[in-house]
């Protein structure tokens, strides 16, 4: 099996390499190709990956490829983890909306649209080359944000793609630790859209223990997601961290006036990580990587690859077409929920209807994502303004126009 990692200059790549080695019995990778357009970062991260693979006894071949076609040629799976414009573009995505009194975040709100407009055309071009060069039936696994919009764009163009986020596996690991059970005994029934999900059940050996989890550990979980404990009780569900941008919008906007932008924090962490990766004596994942965010990223990616290529049929939370599973949404909406994953792809598992307080917000954001994907694919600025107007974190016509102009200039 040949795996191509596009955007491998990311400081996450050592995390991914570590995960691949843990799943080596189920993923028989004999060729791992790391590609990035930044040759210096690729050399640094690739050197770190090589040392890690040697330490873990990897018997296959690692290749660093500056040319995209080399990476894609014959690949059985393509993992996308690109960041178009790097942390500098992310800084604009976070700070430009904040200047207009809106949420400044790279995947949610106006910043998310800016990222989608930059990112979707690049991702689609990579996917078109993969269609021409990769192995027949090759899978595209998208970790590139905004995952819901990017995955929708890939599927709309007929690509064999599945989107993936680390939120569900992060919750699974946290809850398993609280319950003092092995993570593989816990299934979080997380549903909604990417970065707009709620856990409505926690299954442990066939029993839903969500009520016990909230009763016993609700204070800790509320602290982790930055929302009031009472909200968990009122909803009877655990919202993802990203719901704080909707449930505590004014408080977040006020906090962002005084806080250092996350992009600046991450850029500093990345500089430290790259310095560590340059050290020829470092051959294990450094602790600093935990501060980068994206906890359990490698486990999510490798679990999905293993399920696809071993035809295991295991249940994983992924981003895929709704196909009528969540009522009130269109069949072609891209939802995030538990799905049966095997060699044929991801089949969403049946879900009970969303309660009105969840469904209303999901429908609102799904409408935005539909228009945003169209705008990003076409580059149409009128559609982009309509997307911002539809986004619940922008809404106003004049504000949408002002934001669009400023985001385009940035």
Which 3-state string (H, E, C) describes 258-298? CCCCHHHHHHHHHHHHHHHHHCCCCCCCCHHHHHHCCCCHH
> How many CB atoms are closer than 10 A to CB 307?
25
Q: How far apart are CA 123 and CA 238, in angstroms?
A: 32
Residues 6+ apart with CB under 8 A from 296: 166, 169, 170, 173
Whether the link from the prior residue into 126 is cis, omega within 30° of 0, is no
At 212, is the secondary structure helix, strand, or coil?
Answer: helix
Half-sphere exposure of 257 (CA within 13 A, CB side): 8
Q: How far apart are CA 215 and CA 227, in angstroms?
A: 16
Taking alpha carbons only, the member of 161, 142, 189, 203 closest to residue 338 is 189
Selected catalytic residue, list 242, 245, 277, 297? 242
Name the packing angle between helices 147-156 and 110-133 (round to 10°): 40
Q: Is 241 a catalytic residue?
A: no
Half-sphere exposure of 279 (CA within 13 A, CB side): 10
Residues 6+ apart with CB under 8 A from 237: 198, 199, 200, 210, 358
CB 10 within 8 A of CB 81: yes
| Residues acting as catalytic residues | 242
């Amino acid at each position: 099996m040949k795996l191509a990692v596009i955007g491998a200059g990311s400081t996450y790549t050592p995390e991914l390499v570590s995960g691949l080695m843990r799943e080596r019995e189920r993923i028989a990778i004999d060729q791992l190709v790391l590609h990035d357009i930044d040759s210096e970062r690729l050399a640094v991260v690739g050197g770190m990956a090589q040392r890690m693979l040697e330490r873990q006894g990897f018997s296959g071949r690692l290749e660093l490829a500056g040319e995209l076609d080399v990476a894609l040629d014959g690949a059985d799976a393509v993992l996308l983890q690109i960041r178009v414009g790097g942390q500098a573009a992310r800084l604009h995505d976070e700070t430009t909306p904040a200047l207009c009194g809106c949420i400044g975040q790279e995947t949610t709100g106006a910043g998310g649209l800016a990222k989608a407009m930059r990112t979707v055309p690049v991702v689609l071009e990579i996917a078109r080359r993969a269609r021409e060069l990769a192995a027949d039936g090759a899978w595209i696994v998208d970790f590139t944000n905004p995952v819901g919009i990017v995955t929708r764009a890939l599927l709309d163009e007929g690509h064999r793609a599945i989107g993936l986020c680390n939120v569900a596996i992060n919750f699974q690991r946290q809850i398993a630790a609280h319950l003092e059970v092995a993570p593989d005994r816990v299934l979080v029934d997380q549903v909604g859209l990417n970065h707009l999900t709620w856990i409505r059940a926690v299954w442990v050996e066939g029993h839903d223990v969500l009520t016990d989890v909230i009763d016993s550990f609700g204070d800790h979980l509320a602290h982790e997601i930055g929302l009031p404990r009472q909200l968990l009780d009122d909803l009877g569900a655990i919202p993802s961290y990203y719901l704080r941008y909707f449930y505590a919008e004014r408080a977040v906007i006020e906090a962002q006036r005084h806080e250092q932008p996350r992009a600046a924090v991450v850029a500093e962490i990345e500089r430290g990580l790259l310095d560590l990766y340059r050290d020829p004596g470092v051959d294990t994942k450094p602790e600093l990587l935990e501060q980068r965010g994206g906890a359990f990223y490698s486990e999510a990616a490798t679990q999905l690859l293993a399920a696809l290529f071993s035809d295991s049929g295991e249940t994983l939370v992924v981003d895929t077409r709704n196909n009528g599973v969540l009522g009130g949404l269109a069949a072609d909406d891209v939802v995030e929920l538990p799905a049966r994953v095997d060699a044929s792809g991801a089949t969403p598992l049946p879900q009970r209807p969303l309660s009105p307080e969840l469904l209303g917000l999901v429908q609102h954001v799904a409408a935005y994502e539909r228009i945003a994907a169209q705008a990003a694919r076409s580059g149409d600025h009128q559609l982009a303004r309509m997307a911002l107007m539809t986004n619940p974190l922008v809404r106003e016509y004049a504000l949408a126009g002002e934001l669009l102009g400023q985001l385009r200039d940035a």
